[in-house]
Structure 1
Amino acid sequence: MSKSYMVPSTDVPGFSNVYRHSRYKDGTHGGNYSDVTTIYELFMAMERIQPNTDFLGTRRFYPESNRYGAYEWLSTTDAARVVDDFGSGLDKIYSTYASQVSSQSSQQPLGIYSNNRAEWILAELSAVRTRRYSVGLADSLGVDVFESDIDASELQVIVCSIDMIPRMLERIHNTPHIKVIISMDRLDCSKPTTVTQAFSIVTTNELKSRADGLGIVVMDMDQVIEIGRVSPTKPKPPTPSDYCTLCFTSGAAGQRKPILATHASLTHAARAAHLSMQRRNATFLANVPLSHIAGRSSIYALMHDLVRVGFPADGAVDNIDDMQVLRPTVVFAFPGQLDRIYKEVSAATVGAGSLAGFLARIGYRSKLRSFRSKGRLTHALWDRITFRKVAQKLGGRVELVITGHAALSGKVQDFLRMSLSCRVIQSYMQTEITGCALMQTLDSTATGIVGVPQPGFDICLRSIPDLGHNVTDAPCPRGELMIRRDDISVSHLDSAYISEYGSSGWLATGDIARLNVDGTFTHLGRISSAIGTLQGQHKTPEYLESVYSEHELVQSVFLHGDECERELVAVVVPNPNKFVPWARQLIAKPHAKLEDLCAIKEVAAAVTELLKAHASRLQVPQTDRISAVHLEPLSFNQVSSEFYTTTSAVRRDVVASYYGPVFDALCQLHDANDAVTVSPSCISDKTFFIKDLKGVSE
Structure 2
Amino acid sequence: MTSLKPMESAILLLIRCIISIYTFITWPIYFILQKPWKIRANRSRLRAVSLTHGDDFILYRSVTEISDVHARFLQDKIDTMEKVFRFAVRQHGQKCALGTREILAEEDEMQPNGRMFKKFLLGDFQWRTFTQTDSEAESFGRGLRELGLRSRENVVVFAETRAEWLISANGCMKQNMPIVTLYATLGDDAIIHGINETEVSCVITSQELLPKFKNILPCTPNVTLLIVMEDPLKPLDLNGYGDTVSVLPYQEVIRLGDLSSKSGCLPKPEDTAIIMYTSGSTGSPKGVIMSHQNVVNAMLGYTNVTTFYENDVYMAYLPLAHVLELISESIWMLFGIPIGYSTPLTMTDKSSKIKRGSQGDASVLRPTIIASVPLVLDRIHKSIQEKIEGGPAITKALFNLAMEYKNDWTDRGYETPIINTTLFKPIRALLGGRLRFVLSGGAPLAPETHKSLKTTLCCPVLQGYGLTETCAATTVMDPDDNSLGKTGGPLTCCDVKLVSWEEGNYRIKDWPNPRGEIHIGGTNVAVGYYKQPEKTKEEFYEENGRHWFRTGDIGEFTQEGFLQIIDRKKDLVKLQYGEYVSLGKVETQLKINPLVENICIYADPTKLFPVALLVPNFDHLKSLAEKNGIELSTIEELCSHPEMTKLVLGELQKHAVKCRLQKFEIPQALTLIPDIWTPDSGLVTAAFKLKRKTVQDRYKASIDRMYS
Aligned letter for 1:419?
T
1:146 to 181, 185, 191: 191
Shift of 1:52: 0.7
1:461 aligned partner: 498
Shift of 1:355: 4.2
Task: Tell me, in whole angstroms, the C-alpha distance in 1 between the residues paired with 2:611 and 2:680.
Answer: 20
1:607 aligned partner: 651
Corresponding residue SS for 2:73: coil
1:569 aligned partner: 611
Assess if the C-alpha contact under 8 Å between 1:59 and 1:313 holds in 2: no
Task: Tell me, in whole angstroms, the C-alpha distance in 1 between the residues paired with 2:411 and 2:622.
Answer: 30
Assess if the C-alpha contact under 8 Å between 1:110 and 1:157 holds in 2: yes
C-alpha spacing 1:552/1:57, structure 2 compared with 1 (3 Å): closer
Deviations, residues 638-677 of structure 1 (Å, cap 9, x unaligned): 7995432222322222333344334323434xxxxxxxxx
1:184 aligned partner: 229
Q: Aligned ranges for residues 486-497 of structure 1 at < 5 Å?
A: 486-492=523-529, 493=532, 494-495=535-536, 496-497=538-539
Shift of 1:314: 9.2
Task: Tell me, in whole angstroms, the C-alpha distance in 1 between the residues paired with 2:656 and 2:379.
Answer: 27
Aligned letter for 2:555?
A
1:235 aligned partner: 264
Corresponding residue SS for 2:424: helix
C-alpha spacing 1:368/1:655, structure 2 compared with 1 (3 Å): farther
Task: Tell me, in whole angstroms, the C-alpha distance in 2 between the residues paired with 1:350 and 1:389.
Answer: 16
1:626 aligned partner: 666
Give yes or no for the alignment of 1:270 onto 2:299.
Answer: yes
1:7 to 35, 44, 50: 50
C-alpha spacing 1:402/1:599, structure 2 compared with 1 (3 Å): farther
2:156 aligned partner: 111
Task: Tell me, in whole angstroms, the C-alpha distance in 2 between the residues paired with 1:171 and 1:579.
Answer: 39
1:352 aligned partner: 391
Cα-Cα RMSD: 3.3
2:144 to 87, 90, 104: 90
Assess if the C-alpha contact under 8 Å between 1:497 and 1:505 holds in 2: no
Shift of 1:578: 8.3
C-alpha spacing 1:175/1:400, structure 2 compared with 1 (3 Å): same
Q: Percent identity?
A: 21
Assess if the C-alpha contact under 8 Å between 2:525 and 2:548 holds in 1: no
1:327 to 362, 366, 391: 366
Q: Aligned ranges for residues 61-460 of structure 1 at < 5 Å?
A: 61-63=103-105, 66-94=120-148, 98=149, 100=150, 107-185=152-230, 193-194=232-233, 197=234, 199=235, 203-204=237-238, 207=239, 210-211=240-241, 214-281=243-310, 282-312=312-342, 321-349=360-388, 351-353=390-392, 355-374=394-413, 376=415, 378-380=416-418, 382-460=419-497
Task: Tell me, in whole angstroms, the C-alpha distance in 1 between the residues paired with 2:146 and 2:485.
Answer: 51
Give yes or no for the alignment of 1:536 onto 2:578.
Answer: yes
C-alpha spacing 1:184/1:574, structure 2 compared with 1 (3 Å): closer
Task: Tell me, in whole angstroms, the C-alpha distance in 2 between the residues paired with 1:601 and 1:184.
Answer: 47
2:562 aligned partner: 520
2:548 aligned partner: 506
Aligned letter for 1:420?
L
C-alpha spacing 1:657/1:222, structure 2 compared with 1 (3 Å): same
TM-score of the superposed pair, with normalisation by structure 2: 0.81
1:692 aligned partner: none
Deviations, residues 441-479 of structure 1 (Å, cap 9, x unaligned): 212222222221112210011112122222222222222
C-alpha spacing 1:555/1:139, structure 2 compared with 1 (3 Å): closer
Corresponding residue SS for 1:421: coil
Corresponding residue SS for 2:264: coil
Aligned letter for 2:522?
R
1:58 aligned partner: 100
Task: Tell me, in whole angstroms, the C-alpha distance in 1 between the residues paired with 2:208 and 2:623.
Answer: 46
Task: Tell me, in whole angstroms, the C-alpha distance in 1 between the residues paired with 2:207 and 2:575.
Answer: 52
Assess if the C-alpha contact under 8 Å between 2:313 and 2:369 holds in 1: yes
Task: Tell me, in whole angstroms, the C-alpha distance in 2 between the residues paired with 1:183 and 1:550.
Answer: 40
Assess if the C-alpha contact under 8 Å between 2:155 and 2:204 holds in 1: yes
Shift of 1:399: 1.0
2:6 aligned partner: none
C-alpha spacing 1:411/1:554, structure 2 compared with 1 (3 Å): farther
Assess if the C-alpha contact under 8 Å between 1:55 and 1:73 holds in 2: yes
Q: Which runs of 5+ in 2 are unaligned?
A: 1-43, 108-119, 352-359
Task: Tell me, in whole angstroms, the C-alpha distance in 2 between the residues paired with 1:256 and 1:233.
Answer: 35
Shift of 1:62: 1.2
Task: Tell me, in whole angstroms, the C-alpha distance in 2 between the residues paired with 1:237 and 1:22.
Answer: 34
C-alpha spacing 1:371/1:255, structure 2 compared with 1 (3 Å): farther
1:686 aligned partner: none
Assess if the C-alpha contact under 8 Å between 1:5 and 1:20 holds in 2: yes
Aligned letter for 1:88?
R
Task: Tell me, in whole angstroms, the C-alpha distance in 1 between the residues paired with 2:292 and 2:598.
Answer: 38
Assess if the C-alpha contact under 8 Å between 1:46 and 1:306 holds in 2: yes
TM-score of the superposed pair, with normalisation by structure 1: 0.82
C-alpha spacing 1:88/1:458, structure 2 compared with 1 (3 Å): same
2:703 to 660, 663, 676: 663
Task: Tell me, in whole angstroms, the C-alpha distance in 2 between the residues paired with 1:405 and 1:269.
Answer: 16
Corresponding residue SS for 1:481: strand
C-alpha spacing 1:139/1:550, structure 2 compared with 1 (3 Å): closer
Shift of 1:515: 2.3
C-alpha spacing 1:142/1:571, structure 2 compared with 1 (3 Å): closer
Task: Tell me, in whole angstroms, the C-alpha distance in 2 between the residues paired with 1:339 and 1:550.
Answer: 7
